[in-house]
Amino acid sequence: MVENNFNEVNNLSTNEGVNEQTSIDSAPVTQKKNAPLIVFALISLITLVLVVTLFIENKNGVNNTNLINENTKTLIVYFSKDGENYGKNLNIENKKFLTEGNTKILAKKIASFISADLYEIESLVPYPDDLTELYSATKIEYNQNIYPEIKNKITNLDNYDVIFIGYPIWHASYPQIIKTFVRDNENILKTKIIVPFNTHAGSGSAGTYKKLFNLIGTPDNKGLNGFAINGVDVTGSDDNIKNWLKGLGYKLK
């Protein structure tokens, strides 16, 4: 499946042709003279937006290395989906079938670098492999705020100090089954150090880290910086993952 943001696909199709540039050569002379000023203004605006975005993202977690030490017990919790998925650039004609979801690959990498345990969230009712059917099913879940039931509920969550929570971006958010996991374990999760991570198709974290901390009730100093990566880049992402983990305070294997 789609370890991607479904909304990005919709935007790609509905905005087709919108980004076509108007030829400067066809503009009046006065517009030509003003063109450099317009370009400068646009660049300044884009720079401002990027700075603000980075500031907001950095507020969605902290690097508190004092919380992590050699005795820290870590669990990597994740939800992932195999099956049909989009390839590079969200080209529907280039979709592929994943035997292992991108988020699962990422979770396994993280666990192997820091000797953490793994727990995969699985839905009691399997999601369809077909991309179109999956979109429809998950859109209904999102719109109706449905909590899909988890078939393999965890019972030893309190044994860990740090809980990583990973997921793909669906409909510009985390999948609804993540909310089920939080609901079922809220009292324990709010006492833990929480580290989010996700795969996407161009949306970054989609603002989900702050939402996740708020959903759990994570104290400000216990919500650590997350890690977002495009799903198609996961297999070659070892260095980036390791740098992120070291920034959190982990000593790598």
What residue spans define the domains of the chain? 58-248
pLDDT at 88 over 60: yes
pLDDT at 29 over 50: no
The CATH number of 58-248 is 3.40.50.360
Q: What is the average per-residue pLDDT within 53-61?
A: 48
What pLDDT sits at residue 109?
98
What pLDDT sits at residue 20?
27
Q: What are phi and psi of 39, to 5 degrees?
A: -60, -45
Label residue 170 by pLDDT band (50, 70, 90).
Answer: very high
- Contact (CB, 8 A) for 8 and 90: yes
Q: What is the average per-residue pLDDT within 174-196?
A: 97
What pLDDT sits at residue 253?
87
What pLDDT sits at residue 54?
40
Q: What is the mean pLDDT of the chain?
A: 81
- Contact (CB, 8 A) for 76 and 111: yes
pLDDT at 238 over 90: yes
Give the lowest-confidence range in 101-105, 196-200, 202-206: 202-206
Biggest alpha carbon distance in the chain? 72
What pLDDT sits at residue 15?
33
Q: Which residue has the higher pLDDT, 201 or 1?
A: 201
What pLDDT sits at residue 90?
63
- Of 69, 86, 93, 178, residue with least CA distance to 134: 86
What pLDDT sits at residue 7?
53
Cα separation, 9 vs 217, whole angstroms: 32
DSSP 211: H
What pLDDT sits at residue 86?
73
Q: Which residue has the higher pLDDT, 2 or 234?
A: 234
pLDDT at 97 over 90: no
